[in-house]
Structure 1
């Protein structure tokens, strides 16, 4: 798809989403502050199916307003788990879910969660008909980092800011194309296009190298290649971190949506709560990982 048609497609998706918003102020916040970046633009460029649209906001104020709107929608839906939005002193915006770190619409049927980024389940005809009866763009999945709406919209709460600021948290060059709602601008950096054409993983540096290393599995399964030098760059950054620190480990797994990692972190945090002096070593971490994975 060429850039002109891509902008039309992204604008059409935004407008379809806006039709579902019943608050004029929230609708305005979305119209004036949304950034779409990441895999959706790659899929549009290559003509592949878009799995979901990663939506960011350029200001904390707009993010908080939109996130609170959808958390209220979630809580009004009488789900088992109640959610609330928290903004810490560092300006981080997170969803907090009672009892567990995640909440899903499917929780009503099933307590063993499979997170959206890991698996794309086949939808039966019966499920499709049931989905048609429900509201479009309703919140269906919440984590501390994102609010996932039906119809392929994922509102990222973990990061906000202008495009360049958001991309400081990104890892691979091919993900750095971006579209902004307020001016209908589509940014297609040359390095990103080269990597998309060649299906090459090129590490640009990230605050989350552990997450990046794990994410390579997903891209390799999609036919991307990566050379040893890119792994070395990730390892050099990873070497600067203390992964025996539970908070650091938890922060590094911010973009890895896996039930198993959530379970491992909950085990470590539980142990830490029982014994404030507890510091996990590799032997303990290996034991926990082997039991869960």
Structure 2
């Protein structure tokens, strides 16, 4: 292709892109008005919205929910963190495929699904996992443009379903046929057979395999009802019998209960697909969070992973505000006669010594009074953990933390404090 042909081709493409922008400007404005405060986050993380939202926008229908796709895991997690403390957003569901979030407040509540079973660089990659061409529409926040499959508009105007054999969850597609029928779409017998044949290719040998393909469907969660007793041998024939009794289950006619997730670490661990790390101390369980804090828990999760306590405490540090006298000795604020010395073991005269983890130094009773010391301890000397304090029987002073260093911790928000301190 010579330079003239290339120029003509590029000119035509630019013209077409501009026409598309003009054509869908109304829908873009409508989408942004619907998104409100989460719009800027989606642009920042170059996310995609794809599927039913786009179909509804272009059909002139009401938007029921948002399916948001990300380019990478980090972007999804950052999005979650940004909205975690937002009073208008909270997580209500968590599966291997997605995080379900409620955003907004009455009368404008948005149901948001953050997809994490896979990450995508282009809308076409997303379309490859979709089941029907009628839902292969996307909005790319990196370019702020709609991207449509070449058959998207045609098949929506004809109200027909054409199946994509590369879809990730074909059993879901069978269930979605009924949903689309209710919206006036039809599917031919050959297309329906294609879905059935694709389902026959699935290698489902365990309950977990089945749940991966059934979890989080519209309405009732089939994966919670089709369950096997401990030791019961799995077979699809048994599953078929269990499905026959679904309508007899007391939960069949109940609306799904909305649960508010309180622990961001649980969500992030699920997104990262990693086990929860557990430390057992004095017959109590402590979860090691993503930022290395200890969190008391009542029971161990089935997917937890035990940590060696001795190895963990080799590098774990705790902190305490103390007075520093004219001789360079560290004295307790509570008891001026109790001393801490570099490199030496200090043992509680009473029941325990009080410390904080790095993230909670501003919650100390003596916050920013005197100097901050860093200590280590052994598992045998660890007593307990409250929401903000660590209780130890004894400790060894490692060092005095420089003021510039702990100021940086606080201003970087590592202590999970809501405010940022002004040191000027």
Name the TM tier (shorter chain): 0.5 to 0.7
Q: Which residue of 1 aligns with 2:191?
A: 230
SS in 1 for 2:131: coil
Name the counterpart of 1:190.
150
**Would you tell me which structure has more helix in proportion to its own residues?**
1
CA distance in 2, matches of 1:153, 1:12: 15
Name the Cα RMSD after superposition.
2.5
Provide the rounded CA distance (Å) in 1 between the counterparts of 2:212 and 2:126: 16
- Mapping 1:53-202, distance limit 5 Å: 53-70=66-83, 72-73=84-85, 135-136=87-88, 138-139=89-90, 141-144=92-95, 145-150=98-103, 151-154=109-112, 155-162=114-121, 163-202=123-162
Task: Give the total of aligned pairs.
Answer: 216
Kindly state the Cα deviation for residue 226 of structure 1 after the two structures are TM-superposed: 0.5
Q: Please say if 1:240 is aligned against 2:208.
A: no
Pair 1:209 & 2:170 matched: yes
Q: Give the distance between the partners of 2:236 and 2:196, measured in 1 at CA.
A: 19
- Which structure has more relative contact order (CA 8 Å, sep 6+)? It is 1
* Cα gap change, 1:187 to 1:7, in 2 (>3 Å): same
TM-score normalized with structure 2 length: 0.47
Kindly tell me: are residues 253 and 260 of structure 1, through their superposed partners in 2, closer, same or farther at Cα, counting changes over 3 Å? closer
Q: Distance in 2 between matches of 1:291 and 1:148?
A: 31
CA distance in 2, matches of 1:289, 1:5: 45
SS in 2 for 1:201: coil
SS state of the match for residue 171, structure 2?
A: helix
Mark the CA change 1:203 to 1:291 in structure 2 (over 3 Å): closer, same or farther.
Answer: same
Distance in structure 1 (CA, Å) of the matches to 2:81 and 2:235: 36
Alignment partner, residue 243 of structure 2: 289
Higher mean displacement: 212-221 or 165-174: 165-174
What residue ranges of structure 2 are gaps of 5+ in the alignment? 1-21, 104-108, 248-424
Cα shift at 1:220: 0.3
Q: CA deviation at 1:68?
A: 4.5
1:203, distance to aligned residue in structure 2 (A): 0.5
Q: What TM-score do the two structures reach when normalised by structure 1?
A: 0.66
Larger Rg: 2
* Richer in strand (by share): 2
**Structure 1: gaps (5+ residues):** 20-26, 75-134
